[in-house]
Amino acid sequence: MDTHLLELKSWFTRYVNSFYTGEPDVQKNIALKAEHTHRVCENILEIGKSLGISSPELVIAETAALLHDIGRFEQYHRYRTFADSRSENHASLGVKIIQQNNLLQGFDAVVAGAIIRAVACHNRLEIPAQGDQIFLRTLKMLRDADKLDIWRVVIDYYRNSAGERNQAVELGLPDTDDISETIYQGLMAGRPVRFADLQVLNDFKLLQMGWIYDLNYQKSFDLVGRRGYLEAIRDTLPQGSRKVQELYEKIRGYLEKRMQETR
């Protein structure tokens, strides 16, 4: 499987390169997703090693990470957006691309099925209640690794955009000082919120903070705390807002509790 993963990485590079054009926005957003994929691969290996899983299972995890957003490139090519609600589900599109190109033909059928299902489920609101151990652990690691890098991506963007908005990153949401009550109440209740409930860009930022509730592994919580992701997002929200402060304290308290659980 190591050899097959190397072949997949070469295929991935060729595939991504086929989407580059002379348009600056296209170049920027395709490169953004390619870099994201590589970082998710790094994150998932770090999480997997912290769990002490075997080398073959690390290969499975890294393969899932390499392919998890493969649908994003075709999505942006067709629709010029990364918003699933205004195009199509990028995970489902990714599954089609994997199957059309027979990308997992070198893997055992059970393993290939687990990878396909992990790609299909990586962006769902909740983890499926049923599944075999390989699938569920791969999916949980993938979801954590994905969030860890999305935090990096959006924080870099919020800090460095200098007033130049990227609608693909912001999902086309209006940038106002508002915070939707549905988002506030959901996060204060300790649960992640749905993309369908987003009304403004601040809602999207708070949704990202609320991903803390959906992490699975100790290493993931430790990395969030060490990298200061919650504080970085909080600092981009309206300063002096009571709702922002309450939500930050609620979510930060949950993070600290989880960070201490195995200390």
Section 29-54 average pLDDT: 97
The pLDDT, as a whole number, for residue 255 is 96
Report the distance separating Cα 9 and Cα 159, nearest Å: 31
The pLDDT, as a whole number, for residue 1 is 52
Residue 96's pLDDT band (cuts 50, 70, 90): very high
Contact 202, 179 (CB under 8 A): yes
Residue 194's pLDDT band (cuts 50, 70, 90): confident
Contact 86, 79 (CB under 8 A): yes
The pLDDT, as a whole number, for residue 162 is 65
What does the DSSP 8-state code read for residue 106? T
Section 5-33 average pLDDT: 95
Instruction: Tell me whether residue 63 is exposed, middle or buried, using C-beta atoms within 10 angstroms of its C-beta: 0 to 12, 13 to 18, 19 or more.
Output: buried
pLDDT at 73 > cutoff 80: yes
Report the distance separating Cα 105 and Cα 121, nearest Å: 20
What proportion of the chain, given as a percentage, has pLDDT over 70?
A: 98
pLDDT at 41 > cutoff 60: yes
At 140, list the tokens: 């949980």
State the pTM of this model. 0.93
Domain positions in the chain are: 2-146, 173-260
Residue 195's pLDDT band (cuts 50, 70, 90): confident
At 44, list the tokens: 């998932």
User: Amino acid identity, residue 245?
Assistant: Q
The pLDDT, as a whole number, for residue 262 is 56
2-146 belongs to which CATH class?
A: mainly alpha
Q: Which long-range contacts (CB under 8 A, 24 or more apart) does 223-232 make?
A: 223/43, 223/46, 223/148, 224/148, 224/151, 224/255, 225/255, 225/256, 225/259, 227/151, 227/152, 229/151, 229/152, 229/155, 230/255, 232/151, 232/155, 232/158, 232/159
Q: If we measure between CA atoms, which residue out of 236, 75, 106, 96 comes closest to residue 168?
A: 75
Contact 123, 91 (CB under 8 A): yes
DSSP 156-197: HHHHH-TT---HHHHTT----S---HHHHHHHHTT----GGG
pLDDT at 263 > cutoff 80: no
* pLDDT tens-place string over residues 132-159: 999 999 999 999 999 999 999 999 999 8
Q: What are phi and psi of 49, to 5 degrees?
A: -65, -35
**Bigger pLDDT: 130 vs 90:** 90
Return the number of other C-beta atoms located less than 10 Å from residue 262's C-beta: 8
* pLDDT tens-place string over residues 155-177: 999 988 766 788 878 888 999 99
* pLDDT tens-place string over residues 215-228: 999 999 999 999 99
Q: Which long-range contacts (CB under 8 A, 24 or more apart) does 12-21 make?
A: 12/37, 12/66, 12/67, 12/70, 15/70, 15/73, 16/73, 19/73, 19/74, 19/76, 19/77
* pLDDT tens-place string over residues 43-62: 999 999 999 999 999 999 99
